[in-house]
Structure formats: C-alpha cells, structure tokens
Amino acid sequence: MSVPVLQIDGLTIGFGATAVVRGVSLDLRAGRVQGLAGESGSGKTVTAMSVLGLLPRTATVTGSIRLGETELVGLRRRELSAVRGRRVAMVFQDPSASLHPQLTVGHQLTDHVRRHLKLSKAAARSHAVELLARVRVPDPGNALGRYPHQFSGGQRQRIAIAIALACDPEVLLADEPTTALDVTVQAGILHLLRDLAIERNLAVLLVTHDLGVMSAIADDVAVMRHGLIVESGTREQIFLAPSHEYTRALLAAMPDSAPAVRADAGADASALDSPDEEGTS
C-alpha cells in the first residue's frame, strides 16, 4: 500500500486531568476515504481538530501527527498557518456557521488562494469560477458576487467544499459534512466527496456518526469510543465481520439493519447505555 500522506501516531489529547483522546493512531492515504465513527463525546471531532491545531489553548496534545516530513504537533502558529487551508483543509457540519455571512462567496473563495498561491486577482477569480463549476454550484460566474444566505443548505456545503479545495490540499478533514443536510441533498454531497477524493488524489478523513454515510463512501473505518479506537479495518471488515462488541452494538442500533426492533427497541439500548449516558453532575 502507498505511503500515508498523514500519519497520526499515539495521539493523546487532554483537557485538565481528563484525557478525551487516548493513544489514537490512524494513517490517511492519497485517494482514500478514512472513516472515523463513534457517538458524540467519543473524541472523533477533537481528533480531527487537532490535526489543524484548532483545539483551545487549554488542551494538552502529545503523540505525533506527521504530514509528509512535517510534524504538526507542537508547531508554532506561523508555521501552522502555512499548512492550514494550504496542505490540510477542513469542511464542517454546518455551512451556515463556517461561511462568513457578510462576505461574498467570491471573497471567501479567493482570499486564501491569493495569499497561499500568490495568484493575481484575475487569476484567483477564474480559479474560483472553475471550482464552483466543479462542485456544481449553478451559474458560478454570478455566484461569486452573492452572499451565503442566498444559497440553499446543500449549495452552501458545496461552496464550503470549493473553499476547502481551492489551494489544492493533500488532506481533507470532513467533520459530519452531511449531517445538517436533507437526505436527497446528502446523496449529492456524498457523490461529490467520493469523486473529488479520487480525481484529486485527496486523503480524506470522514468523521461521522452515520453508519449509512460511512458505508457509502469510506474505504477504511475506525470506530472510536471513550477516546480509544476500539476497532479499525477496511469497510467490509467493519460492516460485514465486526469483531468488537461495541461495533456490533452500534450496527445493531441502526433501524434498517434490525427490522425486528419494533416491539422491543428498548432492549438494544442496554449495550450502549454506558458511562457517557450517566449524568455529569
């Protein structure tokens, strides 16, 4: 198999005395989608955020995150900013929160491109039009002068993806990229992410709790719980022959994998009602 583009090794993240990520190791490879599954609070988002140094200052990060020759853990702000958006880009759950409401789409699509790639205004603009056309935003020329609120939720996520890809990154981190979208819109975004990973040879980290989404586009899957990766493997291994009890419980909790839950759906929950369902008094 190819050399990993991004190697996370023994990553541990703590807030005060609590470790929320405990010794996580993951390899992202070019052209492949690595899925990271788990429930809320399992540490999957924190893991993704740590790659870009987006954690609050109170977080302590140990272990290693290597992007090619560059070690990202402990990198200074200035050095990080050469990586952020340039070599590693991120797409978030809610495009209405990640896009700036008062700046035009064109502004948001060309700002970092001009900075990172040193393009002229005109070159950045035509680059932006190409990108919008690629992510299938209708009428890309006109779209540059419009504001995020003038687009639908699905189009906004397409724009956020275009912004992420504008500097031709090696790694794309996607944190619940379709969770806020309707199912018919989600299907379109999944097609787009899959195609982009292949045609741009992107290494994608897909963080999602939705195992249907995971099954549709992930090549490899890691399952997280309480800050640990409890199981990882290829998509087929995880879905068809899960070896860890927790993975099996997660799969069994999906309504369409267990049509028999109708009468006694409550019973399935016991395996999952774990310490994190306890009150945080």
Q: Residue 17 has which token pair?
A: 């005395």
- Among residues 61, 83, 213, 224, which is the contact residue for other proteins, using CB under 8 A? 213
Strands 220-225 and 59-67: unpaired
Strands 33-37 and 220-225: parallel
Instruction: Measure the CA–CA gap between 20 and 44, rounded to whole angstroms.
Output: 9
Instruction: Measure the CA–CA gap between 192 and 4, rounded to whole angstroms.
Output: 23
Q: Residue 105 has which token pair?
A: 């789409």
Contact 201, 30 (CB under 8 A): yes
Residues 78-117 as x/- pattern, contact with other proteins by CB under 8 A: ----------------------------------------
Q: Residue 262 has which token pair?
A: 């109708």
Nearer CB in complex with other proteins: 16/255: 255
- Among residues 97, 103, 198, 258, which is the contact residue for other proteins, using CB under 8 A? 258
Contact 13, 47 (CB under 8 A): yes
Which amino acid appears at position 81 of this protein? S
Site residues for other proteins, 225-244, by CB under 8 A, read 235-236, 238-240
- Among residues 68, 138, 141, 145, which is the contact residue for other proteins, using CB under 8 A? 138
Nearer CB in complex with other proteins: 161/214: 214
Nearer CB in complex with other proteins: 201/215: 215
Site residues for other proteins, 159-178, by CB under 8 A, read none
Q: Which residues bind other proteins (CB under 8 A)?
A: 39-40, 136, 138, 153, 182-188, 190-191, 194, 209-219, 235-236, 238-240, 249-251, 253-259, 261-266, 268-269, 272-273, 276-281
